[in-house]
Amino acid sequence: MKAIIGRKVGMSQIFDADGKVIPVTVIEAGPCVVVQKKTQEKDGYTAVQLGFEDVPERKLSKPEIGHLSKAGVSPKRVLREFAIEGELSVGDIVRADAFKEGDHVDVTGISKGHGYAGVIKRHGNHSLKASHGTGPVARHQGSLGSGTDPSRIFKGTKGAGHMGVEQVTIMNLDVVKVDPELNMIAVRGAIPGPKGGLVTIRTTKKTIIVKKGDAGSSVNPQKASARVNPQKASARR
């Protein structure tokens, strides 16, 4: 497993060898330094703690400064732990070139905040008719249940409330391009969070299924013969 911490730069597009447009999100990934290494014998599990972005020492608490000083690492703004099993040691640097084109990754970030939102925007509920008899409540929630029994609203009922600012993971994105000089990684598609938002990239937990044959082609001889069958009306045209 590979992992790294970064910040979302924004979206762009890349043209592949066939001239097709690939929408990508550019991430400034690393460099990250290994701050701590957890072992099965000492901690009961195997993991690596990475530090990202230098920060003035005055902005950290004394326990945080002591933790970083013990590892011989300069003050870091962000610390994240990943279940990495490898030859990494305390003080090693993890850069963007840890990933390569074609890798499948999971990207985790904090989604954009939308403030206090109603049920239509937050959950996609339907609005009432806007023609006649609805009154000024076309976008309201409406009735949620009987009054006598159970005389309450069940927990988990969809309603208005704070929208966004939640941890979201987009799984199985593929790495389109890696620029080690600029510490940039371009992944296909969109990822959660605003520009400048903190994200983590790690090897995907999904099972990658390798497709056999070209897209749109069939290896079934019966289907192949059906396409050229002169008895079919579509073939006689």
Range list of β-strands (E), the chain: 3-15, 21-29, 32-38, 47-54, 76-82, 93-94, 104-110, 115-117, 161-163, 167-179, 184-188, 198-203
Q: Which CATH architecture has domain 3-113+165-236?
A: Beta Barrel (2.40)
Predicted pLDDT at 90: 87
Predicted pLDDT at 220: 61
Q: At 230, give phi and psi (nearest 5°).
A: -65, -15
114-163 CATH: 4.10.960.10
Domain ranges in the chain?
3-113+165-236, 114-163
Predicted pLDDT at 214: 61
Tokens 């082609």 correspond to what residue?
217
Predicted pLDDT at 230: 57
The Cα–Cα gap between 237 and 230 comes to 10
Q: pLDDT below 70 — which residues of the chain?
A: 212-237
The Cα–Cα gap between 140 and 125 comes to 10
Tokens 């084109």 correspond to what residue?
101
The pTM of the full predicted model, rounded to 2 decimals, is 0.77
Contact 173, 104 (CB under 8 A): yes
pLDDT for 155-182, tens place per residue? 888 999 999 999 999 999 999 999 999 9
Predicted pLDDT at 104: 93
Contact 31, 195 (CB under 8 A): no
Predicted pLDDT at 213: 61
